[in-house]
Chain A
Amino acid sequence: MKNYMDMQKTSLISEKKGFSYHRMIFTYLICCIVGLLIIVTVFNGLIEEHDKQLTNEICTLISEKMDTSIQYISTTVDEMSTLISYCDDNSFEESYNNLQKCIAESSFISIGLVDNNGKLYATEAERYEFEKWGLTDIAMNCKNVTISEPYRSSMTGQLVFTMFSQLEEDGKRKGAIFVTYPLDEIQNMANTDSLNDQTEIWIMDGYSDNIIRCSGSGFLIGSWSNFKIEKQKIKNIKEYEVWENSLRSGKYSSAVNYTTTDGIKYTQVFKRIDFMPGWNIVVRIPSLSLSNTMQLFRWANVAFAAVIIIATCFLLIFTHIRETAEKKIFENLSTFDPLTKILNRRAFEKISAKLFETENSPECSFIFFDVDYFKQVNDNYGHEVGDHILVKFADALNSVFGDSGLVSRFGGDEFVVLIRGGNKEAVTAMVEHFAEKVKEMRIECDNDFRLHFSAGMATCPQDTDNLPELMKCADNALYEVKEAGRNSWKWYSDK
């Protein structure tokens, strides 16, 4: 009975909650975190796009510089060939000797001629290079200005490239002029003081994946390499391969973002070098260096949002604690009698009605208590003494019946007790024990007087099987006790 009643009391206090506060907080947090993740993802996308655009711009600038540089060299070689074609030189020998005079004042390394028979007008070192790199074939077959692949010069030990342009006489080809330039001439175009530390700039052969590093930090600057090695370190290889296919298919430009196995994110852009067929300028920049500020901004936003979420959570928790405390006060007021601290009538009726709803004719006993002559005590000794009597009476009821059932102040000096179980002897014994307690009760006032009570009792299902009837039966029994002179108790069934 005790457990059931306790449960009932607890459920009465905790009912009306409607929704779970904790669930609400949890949902709120999940929503915030999901929202935050979406914002970060969108932001990351924007940063990647920003990186691509910025790298694209840098790449465009550098490739334009390189193109302009190669175009300038190309125009120079073309103009030289036109000049020689229209010169009055009698032989290739004479033209060659005249050309040698230009070397000291120029940026190129060597200059010479090749006639239609493949005879080379050049120094010993140049002849060696022509043979080694098969340059004579290029010279013999060139029409407009043609550029060789970069190679290491015997004269400088550095990478160079040679440009060829055909010589004409009366509209007929009579040979070719070649001019060798250091690769530095175009490589240096890629160097910028502001970007040098972070930016890697290569010229890349679209067919073989061969690259020449023009700029960047560390080793291998100004020498050959192959991107197949770098490719092994790329995580999202599929996206990279799309980019690679664009480069191979001769597309003008394309950008890709990728992460390497050591966790560095790069933005890489290529742009075709118009004056160097098959070759592209490739710019690779770590995303961090491009969007450092943006990333700081992103994390600042995330931190700000996180602070807002945490502050909101604290606010919600604080509000909840306050609300719970206030609610508890109101719940106590609506459930317990403010004077005696036992259940009030409304709460008692609700709990006992619930018992009768859940069980059909539950075995229980109902007792109506009435403090005898309470009105006179109140009138004679005042309300303070009256209230004191009610508190002591309720405490005694609670100490005897509280562990076995529901104890309630029903109104004024009327108290009720509902005990699980229909054993009349046991209940009678409890009432007798209660009577002993009341007998011993001392009320502090001017006159010493003895307090006593009347009680009417009924049982379910022997007397009736529903609560209103049971209460009525107990009330009738009480009435009979009162009629008989009070200070006693009686079962309804005891006629």
Chain B
Amino acid sequence: MKNKLNIKLIISAVLCAVLMTGCFQSDNVSEPKTTVVPEFTAETEIIEGRKNIYLIVKNLTSSYWNVVVDGVRDAGKELDCNIYSSGSTSELQWELQASLVDKAIAEGADAIILAPNDSVMLAPKVSEVYSSGVPIILVDTVVNTEDYTICYMTDNLRAGQDAAKEMINRLRESGISEEQEAYVAIQVGGISSQTINERLAGFCQYWTKNAPEKWKIIDEVKFNEGDADYAVVCAEQLLDKYTNINGVFGTNNGSTVGFARVIKDRERKDIAVVGFDYSDEMKELILDKDYNASTMLQKQYSMGQYAVQSALDALDGKKSDIKFVDTGVVTVNSSTISDSEIQEILSHN
């Protein structure tokens, strides 16, 4: 009886195995997304007869984008035009931005300032607006087409290179000689972000060409997918696993904050921190001379201001040979923080 059972079990197992081979793959069924297109808010006094400029940002809830809105609003007031603003609440919502572009056109936008969430997917929409004769100015991120009026953004490849240059300087200043081995760990935010990818590429490019041969980038790059808490975990994991780390580089604000928190908590004054944006955590490290920290500060306020000027110039029929303007970054560390240029930029943050 027992043996018969065994045979039944074996046969069942074989049958299951055969049947399961047909079940290995299943298509992911994505649920249809329904999103409500947000309204545009008037950022300036709306006066009849003035040009209407519509701003669409990546994330309405981010302090970074608030500074861009400030720049656009101030320029609008200064240059005498009506400014409206709106945007998505997540940097993944490129479809929502496309709908916002359509809405702006429908509401009678004379020009659009767009911070595109996706360089590839939004290219056709940008091209469509540009071809219709409405000036479209890009800020922060470029799209994969030449059909736009002008783009103001940080050249992130260059910014990454600047960060690598600063890291090499920081390590040298901390007394590590070219003959000594040194290790730098990297943490990145969302891996689908063109900005982050370009910063990482710039950092690696500069490092490969300019860092002493014995100074290495640790192969394990941690990505936190924009999760602030996980950025701290990633930083802890890197510091625990690689005990000989001399420097850490965060490609975006979240990653940099993650590193800064762990470095401060563990009082690792021997580790150089280089990152992006001026968070409270980085400010604390930079102002404490015992720590070795630098951050790359973008000029998003200027991006907004330049964008409004360019929109009005385009509406006036002025043409420019330049389509892509690198607004650049400034390096903020304990030596440069008092510089007037940096103080001026920080005053908008």
Contacts and interface: CB of A to CB of B under 8 A. Distances in A.
A22 B6 contact: yes
A290 to B, nearest CB: 16
B219 interface: yes
B7 interface: yes
Interface in B178-225: 186, 188, 191-192, 194, 197-198, 200-202, 204-205, 207-209, 217, 219-223
Nearest to B94: A219
A168 interface: no
A303 B223 contact: no
Given A22-B3, A219-B194, A223-B197, A229 B155 contact: no
A283 B223 CA distance: 24
B176 interface: no
B222 to A, nearest CB: 8
A152 B208 contact: no
B11 interface: yes
A151 interface: yes
A205 B206 CA distance: 12
Contact of B7 (A25, A210, A220): A25
Interface string B240-252: 0000000000000
A125 B150 CA distance: 14
A431 interface: no
Contacts of A209: 204
B347 interface: no
A297 interface: no
Interface in B139-159: 142, 144, 146, 148, 151, 155-158
Contacts of B197: 220, 223-226, 229
A317 interface: yes
Contact of B14 (A33, A225, A226): A33
B120 A152 contact: no
Contacts of A171: none
Contacts of B119: 219-223
A132 interface: yes
A428 interface: no
Of A132, A207, A221, A228, the most chain B CB neighbours within 10 A belong to A228
Q: Provide the main secondary structure of the chain A interface.
A: mixed
Interface in A205-241: 205, 207-211, 218-226, 228-229, 231-232
B322 interface: yes
B124 to A, nearest CB: 13
Interface stretch (B15-23, B38-46, B80-88, B273-281): B15-23
B324 to A, nearest CB: 4
A226 B146 contact: no
Nearest to A288: B25
B14 A155 contact: no
Of A22, A158, A224, A317, the most chain B CB neighbours within 10 A belong to A224
Contacts, number: 144
B287 interface: no
A210 B201 contact: yes
A154 B7 contact: no
Interface string B155-174: 11110000000000000000
A128 B202 CA distance: 19
A20 B222 CA distance: 59
B324 A229 contact: no
Contacts of A252: none
Contacts of B325: 154
B6 A125 contact: no
Interface residues of A, number: 48
Nearest to A150: B157
Contacts of B79: none
Contacts of A208: 201, 204-205, 207-209
Contact of B120 (A26, A151, A207, A220): A220
B217 to A, nearest CB: 8
Nearest to B195: A223
Nearest to B138: A157
Given A22-B6, A152-B157, A222-B144, A302 B11 contact: no
A29 interface: yes
B146 A158 contact: yes
B321 A123 contact: yes
A153 B324 contact: yes
A258 to B, nearest CB: 15
Interface in B1-38: 3-4, 6-7, 10-11, 14-15, 17-18, 21-22
Nearest to A302: B21
A157 B208 CA distance: 25
A317 B7 contact: yes
Nearest to A124: B321
Contact of A306 (B4, B7, B18, B202): B18
B326 interface: yes
A223 B119 CA distance: 9
Nearest to A223: B194
Top 3 nearest A-B pairs (CB, nearest first) are A157-B324, A224-B201, A22-B3
Interface of B: 3-4, 6-7, 10-11, 14-15, 17-18, 21-22, 118-121, 138, 142, 144, 146, 148, 151, 155-158, 186, 188, 191-192, 194, 197-198, 200-202, 204-205, 207-209, 217, 219-223, 321-326
21 contacts: A22-B4, A25-B7, A26-B7, A29-B10, A149-B205, A152-B326, A153-B323, A155-B321, A155-B322, A156-B146, A157-B142, A205-B208, A208-B205, A222-B119, A223-B144, A224-B202, A225-B200, A228-B204, A229-B200, A231-B221, A313-B11
Given A154-B324, A228-B204, A229-B200, 19 more contacts: A25-B10, A26-B7, A33-B14, A132-B158, A152-B142, A152-B324, A158-B142, A211-B201, A219-B118, A219-B119, A223-B197, A224-B156, A224-B198, A225-B198, A226-B197, A226-B201, A229-B221, A232-B221, A313-B11
